[in-house]
Structure 1
Amino acid sequence: MEPWRPSPRNPMDRIDPKTFHFQFPNLRYASGRKLCYLCFQVERDYFYYNDSDWGVFRNKVHPRAPCHAEQSFLFWFRDQYPCRDEYYNVTWFLSWSPCPTCAEEVVEFLEEYRNLTLSIFTSRLYYFYNPNYQQGLRKLWDAGVQLDIMSCDEFEYCWDNFVYHKEKRFQKRNLLKDYGFLAAELQEILRNPMDRIDPKTFHFQFPNLRYASGRKLCYLCFQVERDYFYYNDSDWGVFRNKVHPWAPCHAEQCFLSWFRDQYPYRDEDYNVTWFLSWSPCPTCAEEVVEFLEEYRNLTLSIFTSRLYYFWHPSYQEGLCKLWDAGVQLDIMSCDEFEYCWDNFVYHKGKRFQRWNLLKDYDFLAAKLQEILR
Structure 2
Amino acid sequence: MTKDVVKRDIVRVPLDELHFDPNNPRFSRYFSEGDQPVDKVIERMIKAENVQELMGSIGEQGYFSGEPLLVSRTNGALYVVEGNRRLAALKLLSGLIKPSPPLPSIEALKADAKETPSEVECIIFEDRKDILRYLGYRHITGPKRWDSLSKARYLKQLKDTFYKDLPDDEQLRAIAKEIGSRKDYVAQMLTGLTVFDKASQAGFYGLQRVQENDVDFSVLTTALSYTNISKYLGLESRTDIDAHGLREDHAHDVFSWMFAQDQQGDTILGESRNLRKLSSVVANQASVEVLKREKNLAIAYLHTEGPANAFSKTLDGALKKLNEAYDLLPTVDRFSEENKAALAKIEDQASDISLLVTKALRKQKMGGDTDA
Q: What TM-score, normalized to structure 2?
A: 0.27
Which entry has the higher C-alpha Rg, 1 or 2?
2
- Bigger relative CO (Cα 8 Å, ≥ 6 apart): 1
Q: What TM-score, normalized to structure 1?
A: 0.27
